[in-house]
C-alpha cells in the first residue's frame, strides 16, 4: 500500500489499513456501534456477518457500546478470531466494564475509537473526550495507541494484529494531520516513542501524540529555540524503555513541553518541575475546533509560547 503524502485524518489511514485485511481469513471479526462510516472500521470487502452469511467479517452491532465490547471479548475468548469493536472515544465510557474485562482475561480484543479529542468541535462537551485517554491508560494490561500519521497508524495496526494476548485501543483523529517527514521504521513507532523532528543541539524537547504532533512540529518553526519533537504513540511503552533509551530521546538536562488535547493526567509521570503540560482539564465547548484549540492553547503559537517559558527557566 503506498504511503499517504498529503494531510489526512488517522481514521482515514486506519480505514485504508483495514481495507487490505482479508476478513475471517486474517482472523478478525467485528464492526462498529452504528458508526462504521465515521470511524472507518470496515473490514475487507464490507460483507456483513449474519444468519444467511457466516463468511462476512463485519458485524452491525447497533448503538450498543457495552454489548459490542462484550461480544468482541467473547469472540476473542471462544474462537480463533480476534473481536473488533469501534465507536467514538467519548463512548468508550459506555463499554468500560467490557474493556476492563478484556484486560483482566488478557483477551486480544481490538477497540477502535475515533473523534479523539475536544477538537471534534461543534458536537460539544457530550462528544469531547476530555478524561477518557487517562482512564484507558490506567487500565492494567491494556495497550493504548494514539498514532500521529498514516505510517504510524499502519504500524500500530500491524503490531496490534500480531499481539493476541492482550487487548488494545487504537485512538484516531477526525481532523487531518500532516505526514511526519523523519526517517523512522515500524520498530521505532511501536517502541512507544521516537524522534519525529530534530535539530542539532536541541534546547527543548516537545512530546506529543496524535493530532498534536502536527501542532508541535508547526510550533518548532515559530520558536526562537532549537527544539526536538518526539511522537509518543504509546505512553506506557515509552515509559518501559530502558533509562538509556529514554535519556537518548529526551535528555534529562533539557526542559520538556508535553502536548495532548486531553486531560494532562497521563503526562505527570513524564513532565518534571519546571516543565509544562498543555492539555485540557475542563469540559469542552460547542464551537469550531480552531476556536476551542485557541481557548486551550493547543495551537502552534500556544506550544511556541510554552517552549519559550520552559527555556527561559533553564
| Catalytic residue ranges | 65
Helix extents (H) in the chain = 10-18, 36-39, 65-78, 96-104, 132-138, 150-162, 186-190, 211-220, 235-240, 243-249, 289-296, 300-312
Q: Show the 3-state SS of 160-199.
A: HHHCCCCCEEEECCCCEECCCCCCCCHHHHHCCCEEEECC
Residue 53 is given by DSSP the state B
CB-based contact 8:177 (threshold 8 Å): yes
How many angstroms separate the Cα of 57 from the Cα of each of 258, 279, 314?
39, 38, 55
Neighbour-count burial for 10-20, b at 16+ CB within 10 Å, e otherwise: bbbbbbbbbee
| β-strands 227-231, 28-32 pairing | unpaired
When computed from its CA atoms, the radius of gyration of the chain, rounded to whole angstroms, is 19
Name the grid cell of 284. Answer: 469542552
- Phi first, then psi, for residue 81 (nearest 5°) are -95, 160
- Phi first, then psi, for residue 239 (nearest 5°) are -65, -30
What size, in residues, is the chain? 314
Rounded CA gap, 195 and 129, in Å? 27
286 SS3 class: coil
In the block, residue with C-alpha cell 527544539: 227
Amino acid at each position: 500500500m503506498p504511503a499517504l503524502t498529503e494531510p489526512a485524518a488517522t481514521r482515514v489511514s486506519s480505514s485504508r489499513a483495514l481495507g487490505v485485511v482479508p476478513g475471517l481469513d486474517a482472523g478478525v471479526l467485528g464492526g462498529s456501534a452504528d458508526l462504521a462510516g465515521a470511524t472507518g472500521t470496515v473490514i475487507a470487502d464490507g460483507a456483513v456477518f449474519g444468519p444467511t452469511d457466516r463468511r462476512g467479517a463485519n458485524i452491525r452491532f447497533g448503538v450498543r457500546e457495552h454489548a459490542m465490547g462484550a461480544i468482541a471479548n467473547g469472540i476473542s475468548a471462544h474462537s480463533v478470531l480476534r473481536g473488533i469493536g469501534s465507536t467514538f472515544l467519548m463512548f468508550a465510557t459506555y463499554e468500560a466494564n467490557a474493556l476492563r474485562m478484556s484486560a483482566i482475561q488478557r483477551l486480544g480484543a481490538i477497540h477502535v475509537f475515533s473523534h479523539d479529542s475536544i477538537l471534534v468541535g461543534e458536537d460539544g462537551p457530550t462528544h469531547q473526550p476530555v478524561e477518557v485517554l487517562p482512564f484507558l491508560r490506567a487500565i492494567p494490561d491494556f495497550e493504548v495507541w494514539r498514532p500521529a500519521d498514516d505510517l504510524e497508524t499502519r504500524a500500530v495496526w500491524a503490531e496490534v494484529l500480531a499481539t493476541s494476548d492482550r487487548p488494545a485501543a487504537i485512538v484516531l483523529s477526525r481532523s487531518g494531520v500532516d505526514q511526519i517527514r523523519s526517517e523512522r521504521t515500524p520498530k521505532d513507532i511501536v517502541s512507544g516513542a521516537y524522534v519525529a523532528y530534530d535539530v542539532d543541539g536541541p534546547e527543548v524537547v516537545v512530546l506529543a501524540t496524535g493530532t498534536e504532533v502536527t501542532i508541535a512540529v508547526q510550533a518548532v518553526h515559530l520558536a526562537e529555540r532549537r527544539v526536538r519533537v518526539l511522537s509518543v504513540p504509546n505512553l506506557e511503552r515509552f515509559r518501559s524503555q530502558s533509562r538509556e533509551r529514554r535519556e537518548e530521546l529526551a535528555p534529562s538536562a533539557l526542559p520538556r513541553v508535553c502536548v495532548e488535547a486531553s486531560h494532562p493526567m497521563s503526562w505527570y509521570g513524564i513532565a518534571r518541575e519546571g516543565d509544562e503540560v498543555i492539555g485540557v482539564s475542563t469540559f469542552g465547548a460547542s464551537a469550531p475546533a480552531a476556536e476551542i484549540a485557541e481557548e486551550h492553547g493547543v495551537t502552534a503559537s500556544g506550544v511556541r509560547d510554552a517552549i519559550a517559558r520552559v527555556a527561559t527557566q533553564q
